[in-house]
C-alpha cells in the first residue's frame, strides 16, 4: 500500500495577462505548496479497474478527477489487468482555491505509476495532468513554482519559510462563472519575480469574487486587520503569511466564530516526491 499526503497550494498572487482565442486565460502566479492536505491510500486490487473506497458526496464519477486521472493513466500506459483501491481522507474544501482536486489527481498519477510499475516519467505524467486541469502539473512536479501560460509553464522556486493562516469561508465559488465575468481584469502586464518580492502583486479574480460572495469579503476584511491578506486561486479561501507559528496561531484564535481557520506551513517540496 502507498499512503501519502496530497498537499494543498495557495497562490501568492494571480495575474490574468490575456485571453487566448480558445477562451482559456493566460496568467502569472506563484504556487506555494503547504504541509496540509488530504491523505490518500492506494492498494493493489486483484480485479482489473480502479475503485474509490468512499465516493465523494455531490461529485459524479464522470467528474471525479481521481478516477479520471486513473483512467487516463491506464489508457496511456497501463495493461488491462491493472487494478487498485483508492481511499481518501478529505480535509481540503471543494471550491476553495486550494487545488484539492488537482492535487488528488496528481497524487493518483504518481502513486499508480509506482504501484503498477508503469515507468512513466514525471514529464509524461505532467502531460497527462494538463489534460485534467491547468493546476495539475505543478502538483505532479512537486515543487513550489513560478507559473506562466495556462499555469503549466513552471519554474521551481525556493520560497522563504513562512506560516500561513488560511481562512475557509462558507462559500463554494463557481470558478467558470468568475472567469466569464465581464468585470474580470484580463490584461495585467506581465511582471518579474522582483515585483513579487516587492509586494507589487494582487489576485485579479479577487474583486469579482468579493463582489458576489459576502463570506469571502468578510473573511478578507477580518484577516486584513492582522496582515496583508489575499484570496487564493478563484476562492473562496483567503490567507495571510507570518514569520512565526506563534503569531499565526494568535491571529487564528481571534477568528469570528463562524469562520474556520487553519494554521499551516509553506513547503517547497511535495510529499509525493517521496513515493
Q: In the chain, what are the domain boundaries?
A: 2-157, 163-267
What is the band of 58 on the pLDDT scale with cuts at 50, 70, 90?
A: confident
In 3D space, the residue among 176, 89, 82, 88 whose CA is nearest the CA of residue 120 turns out to be 82
What the block records as the C-alpha cell of 177 is 462563472
Read off the pLDDT of each residue in 68-87 and give the average, rounded to a whole number. 91
DSSP assignments along 229-243, one per residue: EEE-TTSS-EEEEES
The rounded percent of the chain whose pLDDT value lies above 70 is 100
Q: What is the model's pLDDT at position 232?
A: 98
Question: How many Å apart are CA 94 and CA 172, to the nearest integer?
Answer: 7
Q: Regarding predicted confidence, which is higher, 62 or 1?
A: 1
Residue 229 has pLDDT above 80, yes or no: yes
* Residue 85 CB-half CA count within 13 A: 9
Q: Which listed CATH number (3.40.50.920, 3.30.70.890, 3.40.50.300, 1.10.10.10) goes with 163-267?
A: 3.30.70.890
What is the spatial distance between Cα 176 and Cα 126, in angstroms, rounded to a whole number?
23
Among all residues, which ones are annotated catalytic?
9, 135
- Torsion 60-62-65-70 (CA) sign: positive
- Is the peptide bond preceding residue 236 cis, with omega within 30 degrees of 0? yes
Sequence-ordered list of residues with C-beta below 8 angstroms from that of 241, at least 6 positions apart, any chain? 162, 163, 164, 227, 266
- Range 136-149 average pLDDT: 98
The dihedrals phi and psi of 11, each to the nearest 5 degrees, come to -100, 115
Query: DSSP string covering 40-108, please?
Result: EEEEE-SSSEEEESSPPTT--GGG-HHHHHHHHHHHHT--TT-EEEEEEE--SPTTSSS-HHHHHHHHH
Q: Average pLDDT of 70-99?
A: 91
Q: Assign 69 a pLDDT band (cuts: 50, 70, 90).
A: very high
What residue ranges in 149-244 does DSSP mark as E strands? 153-156, 163-168, 229-231, 238-242
Cα 250 to the center of its chain, rounded Å: 26
Say yes or no to pLDDT of 243 above 80.
Answer: yes
Q: What percent of the chain has pLDDT over 90?
A: 84
106 DSSP β-pair partners: none
Please check if 193 is assigned to a binding site: no
Residue 122 pLDDT: 97
- pLDDT value at position 95? 83
Provide the pLDDT for residue 226.
Answer: 98
What is the per-residue pLDDT for 57?
76
| pLDDT for position 235 | 92
Q: Is 49 annotated among the ligand-binding residues? A: no
- pLDDT tens-digit series, residues 101-126: 999 999 999 999 999 999 999 999 99
Which numeric CATH code is attached to 2-157?
Answer: 3.30.230.10
Crossing angle of helices 122-132 and 65-76, rounded to 10°: 130
Is 37 assigned to a binding site?
A: no
Torsion from C-alpha of 207, 212, 214, 219, nearest 10 degrees:
-40
Q: How far apart are the first and last CA of the chain?
A: 11
pLDDT, mean over the chain: 94
119 marked ligand binding residue: no
Q: Quote the distance between the C-alpha of residue 157 and its chain's center.
A: 16
Reported as a single tens digit per residue, the pLDDT across 151-195 is 999 999 999 999 999 999 999 898 889 999 999 999 999 998 887
Task: Give the pLDDT of residue 29.
Answer: 97
Residue 197 confidence (pLDDT): 76
Would you state the cell numbers that stand for residue 164, as one nine-digit string?
500561513
Annotated ligand binding at 151? The verdict is: no
The reply, when asked if residue 101 is annotated as ligand binding, is yes
Q: Which three cell numbers stand for residue 166?
A: 488560511
Q: How confident is the model at residue 78 (pLDDT cuts 50, 70, 90)?
A: confident
78 is in an annotated binding site: no
Amino acid at each position: 500500500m502507498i499512503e501519502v499526503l496530497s498537499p494543498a497550494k495557495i497562490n501568492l498572487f494571480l495575474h490574468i495577462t490575456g485571453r487566448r482565442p480558445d477562451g482559456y486565460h493566460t496568467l502569472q502566479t506563484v504556487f506555494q505548496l503547504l504541509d496540509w492536505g488530504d491523505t490518500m491510500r492506494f492498494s493493489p486490487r486483484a480485479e482489473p479497474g480502479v475503485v474509490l473506497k468512499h465516493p465523494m458526496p455531490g461529485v459524479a464519477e464522470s467528474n471525479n478527477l481521481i478516477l479520471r486521472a486513473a483512467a487516463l493513466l491506464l489508457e496511456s500506459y497501463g495493461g488491462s489487468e491493472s487494478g487498485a483501491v483508492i481511499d481518501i481522507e478529505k480535509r481540503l474544501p471543494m471550491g476553495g482555491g486550494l487545488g484539492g482536486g488537482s492535487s488528488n489527481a496528481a497524487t493518483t498519477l504518481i502513486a499508480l505509476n509506482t504501484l503498477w510499475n508503469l515507468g512513466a516519467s514525471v514529464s509524461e505524467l505532467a502531460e497527462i495532468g494538463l489534460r485534467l486541469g491547468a493546476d495539475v502539473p505543478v502538483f505532479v512536479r512537486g515543487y513550489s513554482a513560478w507559473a506562466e501560460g495556462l499555469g503549466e509553464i513552471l519554474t521551481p522556486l525556493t520560497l522563504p519559510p513562512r506560516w500561513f493562516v488560511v481562512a475557509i469561508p462558507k462559500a463554494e465559488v463557481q470558478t467558470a462563472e468568475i472567469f466569464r465575468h465581464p468585470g474580470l481584469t484580463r490584461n495585467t502586464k506581465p511582471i518579474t519575480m522582483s515585483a513579487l518580492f516587492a509586494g507589487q502583486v494582487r489576485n485579479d479574480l479577487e474583486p469579482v469574487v468579493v463582489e458576489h460572495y459576502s463570506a469571502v469579503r468578510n473573511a478578507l476584511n477580518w484577516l486584513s486587520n492582522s496582515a496583508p491578506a489575499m484570496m487564493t486561486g478563484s476562492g473562496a479561501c483567503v490567507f495571510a503569511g507570518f514569520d512565526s507559528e506563534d503569531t499565526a496561531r494568535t491571529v487564528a484564535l481571534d477568528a469570528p466564530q463562524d469562520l474556520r481557520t487553519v494554521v499551516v506551513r509553506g513547503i517547497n517540496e511535495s510529499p509525493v516526491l517521496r513515493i
